[in-house]
Amino acid sequence: MAKLILLTGLVLLLNAQIGSAYVLSCYFTNWGQYRPGLGKYKPDNIDPCLCTHLIYAFAGMTNNEIATIEWNDVTLYQSFNGLKKQNGELKTLLAIGGWNFGTAPFTAMVATPETRQTFINSVIKFLRQYDFDGLDFDWEYPGSRGSTPQDKGLFTVLVKEMLEAFEQEAKQVNRPRLMVTAAVAAGLSNIESGYQIPELGQYLDYFHVMTYDFHGSWEGYTGENSPLFRGPADTGSNIYFNIDYAMNYWKTNGAPAEKLIVGFPTYGHTFILSNPSNTAIGAPTSGAGPAGPYTRQAGFWAYYEICTFLNNGATQVWDAPQDVPYAYKGNEWLGYDNIKSFNIKADWVKKNNFAGAMVWSLDLDDFTGTFCNQGKYPLITTLKNALGLQSASCTPSSNPSSGSGGSPSSGSGGSPSSGSGGSPSSGSGGSPSSGSGGSPSSGSGGSPSSGSGGSPSSGSGGSGFCVNKAGGLYPDPTDHNKFYHCVNGRTFVQNCQSGLVFDTSCSCCNWA
């Protein structure tokens, strides 16, 4: 009997440990440092006790080798990975790619065994040199946006070879194996054309599914950014644009639930209503809502900017079928997430036995606690508590508060991205966007979402510029402040932020 009680106790203990062992992966963006005032975000703003895994976005690639993008990445790496001194359980990963990075460098790199080996060797050296615990692939997307159909299979080969090399290296240096994860699409067509799911399920440690950007101002009608379920207005392919469908598609097609991580956005998408008296989901819109004062990008607000909108008298509506809120005021309409929707989604993650939650991104939550009156990091803290994550060995930093001033550091001659074409401002084209890695729209595949240069003008510009052109960003030959975003042959005309010009060397907006 005593043995039975002891055994039962061990089972309960084991279950308790398993039950609370969720992953909370949080992305840090290396362009948050360029936001003005209270929006400025650097590694010393991060609370090291908040997330189980921190992911640094983004690294790039030069000659098939991993490379820094921002002028001060190496300095930021040091601060970022230094957070592990305060939390002994914290893991850090480096993400490579993102929406603005495009597909061409990945396609070139995976093409031959030699180029893949060059890349893998460079990654191991780079991660160990700068004290990262793993690599997060943000290839958006294999088999789409100019990537060849063969890349679907070659991505699997790359991940398999990467894992094997990581395992071998770990034995040689007698250190824990480096992790290999990927930020992957949530839109059905991008999943089908991009991933051999069962095979990747054997090799990846985690799939960070980008379950957001399902709807936005590029569509011409209102819609939720990250709905949990299908809504009554969803018809046609829109029935696939929700978390429930996307996550279950990955699971039923061969990705283990214990490796699937659900994406949570700390931002919303905004619209201009064509008729301010029609505020329903699916109501016609004429374009993107105005840029926020800190993120400075049309159609996109950080949660702390959303709180200002709500506090200034916007009407808030709970979208019960989709378990997310929306809000409107005058002709402005907003689809977003709040504490209530994060709690509901976190319960859904647990009920469905997924591995945990991924947040895009740290710098878009109310990290100073200034705007929402809900404490610091209200959304991410909600997730941490809902998933039962408490770290016994963690000492929070004394003050993860905001820095001031948003101009690029003059330490490098004032250029925010000398030699890198990184983003000189939050969303002015250089930033890889809201989606985890700038996913254009994990759902619709039509949106160049929040950061790949600002949001597209409503509808597909009438110029026909993109007919028969590969997807991607192209300069406007007559106006250096403008560029074209080509998506499936459709033309979106976009503007760089005032004072910036489109730079073809990085396909981003940069200082002239």
* Domain around 481: 472-511
What's the whole-model pTM score? 0.80
Confidence band of 488 (pLDDT split at 50, 70, 90): low
Same domain, 387 and 476: no
Give the whole-angstrom CA distance, residue 326 versus residue 225: 10
* Number of domains observed in the structure of the chain: 2
Confidence of residue 509 (pLDDT cuts 50, 70, 90): low
**pLDDT tens for each residue of 354-390:** 999 999 999 999 999 999 999 999 999 999 999 999 8
Q: Determine the pLDDT at residue 36.
A: 97
Residue 249 falls inside a structural domain: yes
pLDDT of residue 407: 32
Residue type, 221: Y
Q: Judge if 347 and 495 occupy the same domain.
A: no
Are 497 and 362 within one domain?
A: no
Is there a single domain that holds both residue 85 and residue 227?
yes
Other CB atoms within 10 Å distance of the CB of residue 415: 16
Half-sphere exposure of 253 (CA within 13 A, CB side): 13
Residue 341 sits in the same domain as residue 213: yes
In percent, how much of the chain has pLDDT > 70? 77
Give the pLDDT mean for 120-139: 98
Looking at the domain assignment, is residue 113 inside a domain? yes
| Same domain? 363 vs 493 | no
Residues 48 and 185 in one domain: yes
In a domain, 273, yes or no: no
Q: Residue 465: inside a domain, yes or no? A: no
Mean pLDDT along residues 255-270: 98
Catalytic residue set: 140
**HSE of 151, CA atoms in CB hemisphere, 13 A:** 24
| The pLDDT of residue 126 is above 60 | yes
Residue 434 lies in a domain: no
- Answer yes or no: do 351 and 492 share one domain: no
Residue 329 located in a structural domain = no
- Among 346, 369, 391, give the residue marking a domain's end: 391
Mean pLDDT confidence for 190-205: 98
Confidence (pLDDT) at 410: 28
- Could you tell me if residue 372 is inside a domain? yes
Structural domain contains residue 456: no
DSSP strand E in 244-323: where? 260-265, 267-273, 285-288, 300-302, 315-319
* Domain containing residue 367: CATH number: 3.20.20.80
**Based on the domain organization, do 63 and 189 belong to the same domain?**
yes
> Are 126 and 225 members of one domain?
yes
Mean pLDDT taken over the chain: 84
Check whether residue 173 and residue 80 sit in a common domain: yes
Whether residues 489 and 355 share a domain: the answer is no
Q: Label the pairing between strands 179-184 and 332-335.
A: unpaired
